[in-house]
A and B are shown apart, each in its own frame.
Chain A
Amino acid sequence: MNRRRSSFTPIALSFLIVCAAWGAPPALAASTAVVPISGTVDGVPESVYFSGLAEITTTLMTDPDLGRRPGVMLSIDLHNVTGQGLATGATYVSTAQDQVIRRLVSADRIEISFPFHPSVPGGETSARGALASFSLTFDLRTGEVTGGGGTVSSPSF
């Protein structure tokens, strides 16, 4: 936890909020935010610097039955976050698309792991793991992301 606090650097926000109303029932309201993210993953065969835009779709989860505090489901897509090998200049990609459930609070620090690999045929066989850490603020009424940024780092548990 300390490591994450020390390594996190707030990034100037550049938000594109897209609200989409799904056509099919139930009429869940989802919103999508594009969050800038960057950082370096150390390791072998080379360290990789990632940058790009993470797409975070949030869906508000309410609990009308028992009045539990609302939650939010986040779908985090890193397709548009690419890496460059610091030694070779090779391109690295991630196909990560993860869903996580969190309690809805005004500000949350959310960390997911994600795989990445060289952008070459068969590159998946040499996939490695990295961390994407987001510091996000939320609209407590709608569950929409209202601000934040992210960093990429190496797992060091």
Chain B
Amino acid sequence: MAVLNRIIKAGFLNFSRSGLVSWAAVLVVTITLSVITSLILLQAILHFSLGQIKEKVDVTIYFTVNAEENKIFLLKKSLEELVEVEEVTYTNSGEALKIFRERHQNDYPTIQALDEINENPLGGYLNVRAKEVSQYESIANFMKSDNALVLGSASIIDKVNYTQNKEVIERLNSLISGARKLGFIVTLFLVLISIIITFNTIRLTIFISKEEIGVMRLVGASKMRVRGPFMIEGAIYGVIATIITMLLFLPATAWIGRNMTAFLGINLYDYYVSNLLQIFTIILSLGVFLGIVSSLIAIRKYLNK
């Protein structure tokens, strides 16, 4: 315990006495953590945007005018039981007509033609939303399969618009998966670069102390006694850099929230504040881990003398 206390105390003393060198290391770790925080927020924007696009995609099953509602409800129930399905909403023929009239209220000839028919020419329909864009095909396949026909619903289906939307859905699907992959690769690349820069900065701070490390070993200090304070120093870089990063992002996200919410579709400030604890935990763990591991690796070379 006494040894641990001495190591911790020495770590804090080294940090405060190294002055500019310590703060230069904190600055570099802050930049690294800022890059990582930005990437977390960018991932949130990407996730939100893709989610919004996904929301706009669905498959509609149109029923014949005379389709019995109990059969429609049976089909709805069986669709809801599919694991791929997020939500199924039913619009009956009356509502369908009302929506049609509203949509075409300025289209006088169409409204007049409807009035002249004097009956509802539209059937009800089901809107099916899948959990993932890639799952629409399997839902469409279900519609074609025996499962749906067993329910006796094949005769009541007028058309399913999946075939018409298939190309758009498939393109969207590949776009989303491409965007995710690209996002992941870019994130990995930037994180890697930041880690390398941080590692080299900490290595430089330890390089400055290499002679002292040798002297400590010569007076009989154990490897842990020499290594420990540098690890504590590394952890301090991480903690201070985390606090600075978190504070910097408050006004930054507030500004983005005020000026770019309409463009991004998400209020970044609200997202940042509501996920503050999670982001803080991730950044702090990364910062401390980075500081300790970089110190550990950097000092190894000088300890073996």
User: Do chains A and B stick together as partners?
Assistant: no
Residues of A within 8 A of B (CB): none
